[in-house]
Structures are given as structure tokens and as C-alpha cells.
Amino acid sequence: MPTFNRYKHFVIYGVFVPLIEKRIQNPVQIERALTRISHEILERNGGVANLVLVGMHSRGVPLAHRISSAIERFEGVKVPVGKLDIGMYRDDISEKGSPVMKPTDIPSDINDKTVVIIDDVLYTGRSIRAAMDAISDFGRPSQMQLGVLVDRGHRELPIRADYVGKNVPTSREEDVQVRLQEIDGEDAIVITSNSDNTGDVI
Amino acid sequence: MTLETTARQTFSQQNILDLDSFTSQDITYVLDNTLAMEQVLDREIRKVPALRGKTVVTLFYESSTRTRVSFEQAAKILSADVINVTSGGSSSKKGESLYNTALTIQAMQADIIIVRHPHSGAPHFLARQLEAKVINAGDGTHAHPTQSLLDLYTIRKNIGTIEGKKIVIVGDILYSRVARSNLWGLTKMGARVVICGPQTLIPNDFLNGHRTEEGHPFAGVEVQTDLDAALKDADVIMTLRLQLERQKAGHLPSLREYSQTYGLNARRLAMAKDGALVMHPGPMNEGVEIETDIAHGTQSVIEEQVKSGVAVRMSLLYSMAASQNLEI
């Protein structure tokens, strides 16, 4: 059900533009999706041997930690988790500016390992392209795989995810936000859009 | 998405001429990103593609080792193409003006020109005339913003914060571009700054109080001629290079007297806070403004200043590329 967030409307040229928020997943559903992804990772790779999870800042990092602890519950083995900031690898630095970069920490030797990149939302694929370049500078994994909580479509590069929590068809005007307990204080997936352009789906 | 893009505009400078135009957010942005740059320096493959396809030219009309090399190193690690021009080996030897040399360099599609020049204001002149972005790597006695940024970074890294700390700058304030840029940088970050030196080497505006009146950005800056008094409770001591020509110019009776009155030694260092940082922008005259055992002692972060120079300059180049106004 679309909800009306009374604090987020704004006015453009005197026209009232309500901001509509739609919550598409609740905390239980998110947890189930992550549990399924964890099982799929194990199934696909035949166990935890040689696995390394790399979370992309910001929200990929807590997601990678959650998947790692889920795997630990099933298998009793802790999979190493790394953090990655792709600021220096983006192809649009001069167009979009850049937030302050967060620390990158690739825990172990990734040569000949299976690196699973974890991010919250897969959209154009450009961040994933940057992440693959960044990881290649740390070594040569035998395989890279991609796990995302939400795939919202609109790819601009030939990239697809190996593990998807939920496919969410969106228009480019919409904004998909993953909110996580560790960063935002709640678990939710929210689609926001301005009511005046929800109609034109490209 | 729109909300996110506005939050990303965190660096507002187009040219880097001095820190007077920086906001404290700009400074914080550069210092914060320096951490990520230091991590790149620790990697096995020290190369990231952030400035791929950009051309950076260093144009140095004054001799320099650490500044030029660290700029070159920084730009190369960020994958820019770097061309070095020095006044000795260029057409300026044949009488070409600074403006024409710079136009030539711009015509070769330089995106960023890093200038050091003996005349104050030379980089500002170029920034007005050229489309390429200009970074001031030291102009006359005026400004040396990147040295100040790396000083700020070194302080923050060692004592956590700059705000509220007592920083004593000792020596030839009058002719020091490092001191001038640091006055801007330190006061913008909320430090308590004391400048100390013989009256002949302190700018008149500070001596007669014009710089320290209410409302002036330097209103909080203290002026001291007695180093022992200045050092009380100091968190950081920045010693400045004493140009040996100053004595000939009549600013000092003798180098020996200067080093006895303003040289940093173990007895004086003990007057500052325990563990106070000792800094120097280099190159040092050991035995004049600083004793050898202090310069290489446990409280000295002088080598660290040089080391963080590369990461700070990487962060600055990256910040310029990331600033939305910069179409490089």
C-alpha cells in the first residue's frame, strides 16, 4: 500500500508535489531473502571453501556480514568479509561528484578465491563494473560472483546478478532505497516517487 | 537520486590558490579522503583509475624536491599523465613570459597546471587567464596551500582533532608562505594559533594589531616574541625554515643569536605539553631553527609530514575531479 509521508512533500513553482513512499518488503522478508541467498551461495560453490564476501559501501557491508553469519549458522565456518569503496574506480566522478570515501579493507589474499560481491541495489551495473576493476587490483580471484538484495532493472552494461533477493520492476524516476538496521535503524525496502511522474515508465 | 546528488557536492573549490577561499567543509573533505588515499599507497598495486585520461602539468619556476615529486607521484598513482616543466629547461630561459608558457601548456590540453613561482600571485594570474585548473604549489611569500593541508592532516592524524589545540608557529613569519597558508587553515579549523619570532620577522599588520581586531579571521591569533612563553601548553610546534639571506638583509643580528633565542631545543620542548608534536615544512637548517636531536626525536613528525604529502595531494586532485563545477 502506498503511504503518504507527510514530511517529505515539496513545492516546485508553487505546485504541491507529494512524495509517495511504497514499502515493498518488511524485516522478516528481508531476513528470509538473505537466508535464501546464503544457501544459494553454499549450493553453487559446494560449501565455504575459498569463499570471500566483499560488501560494497555503504549498505553492502552490513548485508555481507549478515550473509556471513547466516553461513556460519549453517556450516559452522566463518567466511571472511571485506569492505570496498569504489570511489576511485567510478567512470562518472566528474559528473556526479563523490561522497567522502570510506575505508577499503580486503581481508585476505583473494588470489584463486571465489569472491562474492554484495550490494544492496543493482541498477545500471556501473558500480559493479567499478567494483570488479577495484577487486582485480587486489589480486586475481578464480571467480567473481554478485549478490544483491534488490534488482531494479535498467542495466547499462552486460552485467547480471548470481543471487537476487527480490526483483523489483521500477521506472527510472523512482528511487529504490534499502534501509538497514545497522545504518538506518530499520530494515525496509522502500520505493519513493514523485506522484507527477510515476506515470511515465520508460 | 536527486537527494543523493545534492549531498555529494562537498567540495567547492575550482582552483587551489590558497586556503582563504576554503570552507572548513572543503578542508574536512580533503582530509577525510586522504585516509582512503593512504590505503592505496599501502597496496601492492599502487594505481587507481580516478584521473585516467587527464593531463597534469607541473610548472616550476623555483627549485623544489618534495613538492614537485609528491605532486607527480600523486597524479601518477591516480592514473593521470604527468608532464614536468621547469624554468631552466623551458623556453622561459629564452625570455618567454609566464603567460605565454602557460598558454602553450594549455594548448597541449593540460587539465590541471600545478605552478610554483617566486612571485606572489602568479598562480592567481594564471587561474584568471586559463581554462585549465590551477594549483598553487607555492608562490613567493604568499601561499602554499597543499603544505598547509598536509600539516593539518598530520596534526589531525596524531592528536585526533585540530579544534581548540594550541599551535605555535615559530620563526620567519614575514617571508613564510607556509605560515600564511597555515594561518588560514588552522584558524578555519578552530585551532588556537600563536605566532612567534623576532619583531623584524613578524608582519607589521600583526604587530600593530590590524590583523587581530574584532571580526577579522585572524582575530584570535596571538603574537609572541618570547618563545619560552609561547610554548607553554602548546600541542603542536611548527618551526619554519630560516632563510640564511635574512641576516644579510638586516633582519637578524646573527644566526647564532637567532638560534639561541628562537631555536627549538630539548629545554624549550619540555615547556610544551607532554608529547607535543614537532613539525617543520622542510628543508631544515639543523642547528639553526631546530636542534638535530629534536628534528629526529620521538616527538618529531617531520618525516610523516613528507610521507602524507603524497596522499594529501592525491586527495586534493581527486576532490577537484569530484567537484561538480570542474569540467575536466
Does the distance separating the beta carbons of A94 and B328 come in below 8 Å?
Answer: yes
Pick the residue of B2, B4, B30 with the most A CBs within 10 A to test the interface with A by mutation: B4
Query: Alpha-carbon distance B183 to B211, whole Å?
Result: 11
**Whole-prediction pTM value?**
0.87
Does the fold of domain B145-302 match that of domain B2-144+307-322?
A: yes
All three cell numbers of B22, joined, read 576554503
On whether the CB atoms of residues A60 and A24 are closer than 8 A, the answer is no
User: In A, which residues are within 8 Å of B40 by CB distance?
Assistant: 88
Helix (H, G, I), strand (E, B) or coil at A15: strand
Please say whether the structural domain B145-302 has been given the CATH code 3.40.50.1370. Answer: yes
Name which of B226, B257, B244 is nearest B172 in CA terms: B244
Torsional sign, CA B87, B91, B93, B95: negative
Residues 39-68 of A with CB under 8 A from B: none
Mean pLDDT lowest for which of A4-13, A44-53, A61-70, A115-124? A4-13
Residue A1 has pLDDT above 50, yes or no: no
Split at pLDDT 50, 70, 90, the class of A113 is very high
Whether the ω angle into residue B283 lies within 30 degrees of 0, i.e. cis, is: yes
Does the distance separating the beta carbons of A137 and B29 come in below 8 Å?
Answer: no
User: In B, which residues are within 8 Å of A89 by CB distance?
Assistant: 48-50
Contact of A133 with chain B, judged by CB distance below 8 Å, is answered with yes
**Segment A61-83 mean pLDDT:** 96
**Segment A186-198 mean pLDDT:** 76
Backbone angles phi, psi at B55, to 5 degrees: -110, 130
Closest chain B residue to the Cα of A85, Cα to Cα = B36
On whether the CB atoms of residues B322 and A98 are closer than 8 A, the answer is yes
- The C-alpha cell 592505496 sits at B40
Closest chain A residue to the Cα of B327, Cα to Cα = A94
Does the distance separating the beta carbons of A94 and B36 come in below 8 Å?
Answer: no
Domain ranges of chain B: 2-144+307-322, 145-302
Looking at CA atoms only, how far is residue A93 from chain B in angstroms? Answer: 5
List the single residue in B10, B39, B48 with the smallest CB-CB distance to A89: B48
* Residue ranges of chain B whose pLDDT lies below 50: 1-9, 325-328
User: In B, which residues are within 8 Å of A87 by CB distance?
Assistant: 33, 36, 50, 318
Query: Alpha-carbon distance B236 to B279, whole Å?
Result: 7
The per-residue pLDDT for A77 is: 95
Residues 71-100 of A with CB under 8 A from B: 85, 87-89, 93-100
Name which of A56, A28, A115 is nearest A80 in CA terms: A115
Name which of A56, A75, A81 is nearest A161 in CA terms: A56
Where b means 16+ CB within 10 Å and e means fewer, A60-89 reads bbbbbbbbbebbeeeeeeebebbbbbbbbb
Q: ipTM score of the complex? A: 0.78
Chains A, B: CB contacts within 8 A come to: 68
DSSP, res A105: B
Which residues, other chains included, contact A95 with Cβ-Cβ below 8 Å and sequence gap of 6+?
B324
Looking at CA atoms only, how far is residue A72 from chain B in angstroms? Answer: 29
Which residues, other chains included, contact B145 with Cβ-Cβ below 8 Å and sequence gap of 6+?
B16, B17, B18, B19, B22, B136, B181, B185
| β B236-239/B166-170 pair status | parallel
Q: What is the pLDDT of residues A14-42, one digit of tens each?
A: 666 666 788 888 899 999 999 999 999 99
Split at pLDDT 50, 70, 90, the class of A200 is very low
Residue A103 has pLDDT above 50, yes or no: yes
Does the distance separating the beta carbons of A99 and B8 come in below 8 Å?
Answer: yes
Does the distance separating the beta carbons of B32 and A85 come in below 8 Å?
Answer: no
Does the distance separating the beta carbons of A99 and B36 come in below 8 Å?
Answer: no
Does the distance separating the beta carbons of B324 and A88 come in below 8 Å?
Answer: no
On whether the CB atoms of residues B308 and B157 are closer than 8 A, the answer is yes
Choose between A177 and B248: higher pLDDT.
A177
User: In B, which residues are within 8 Å of A96 by CB distance?
Assistant: 5, 8, 324
Looking at CA atoms only, how far is residue B256 from chain A in angstroms? Answer: 48
Vertex A182: Cα angle to A178 and A187 (nearest 5): 40
- The proportion of chain A whose per-residue pLDDT surpasses 70, expressed as a percent, equals 84
Name which of B174, B150, B142 is nearest B241 in CA terms: B174
On whether the CB atoms of residues A107 and A77 are closer than 8 A, the answer is no
Does the distance separating the beta carbons of B36 and A101 come in below 8 Å?
Answer: yes
Does the distance separating the beta carbons of B40 and A101 come in below 8 Å?
Answer: no
Give me the DSSP letters along B141-190.
TTB-HHHHHHHHHHHHHHHS--TT-EEEEES--TT-HHHHHHHHHHHHTT
Domain ranges of chain A: 21-197
On whether the CB atoms of residues B150 and B186 are closer than 8 A, the answer is no
Tell me how crowded residue A129 is: count the other CB atoms within 10 A of its CB: 18
Looking at CA atoms only, how far is residue B311 from chain A in angstroms? Answer: 13
User: In B, which residues are within 8 Å of A108 by CB distance?
Assistant: none
CATH tag, A21-197: 3.40.50.2020
Class of the CATH-defined domain B2-144+307-322: alpha beta
Choose between A5 and A85: higher pLDDT.
A85
Tell me how crowded residue B233 is: count the other CB atoms within 10 A of its CB: 12
User: In A, which residues are within 8 Å of B8 by CB distance?
Assistant: 96-99
Query: Alpha-carbon distance B231 to A185, whole Å?
Result: 47
Does the distance separating the beta carbons of B49 and A89 come in below 8 Å?
Answer: yes
Torsional sign, CA A179, A131, B308, B67: negative
Which residues, other chains included, contact B296 with Cβ-Cβ below 8 Å and sequence gap of 6+?
none
DSSP, res B262: H
Looking at CA atoms only, how far is residue B67 from chain A in angstroms? Answer: 23
On whether the CB atoms of residues B114 and B58 are closer than 8 A, the answer is yes
Choose between B60 and A198: higher pLDDT.
B60
Query: Alpha-carbon distance B45 to B75, whole Å?
Result: 15
The per-residue pLDDT for B216 is: 84
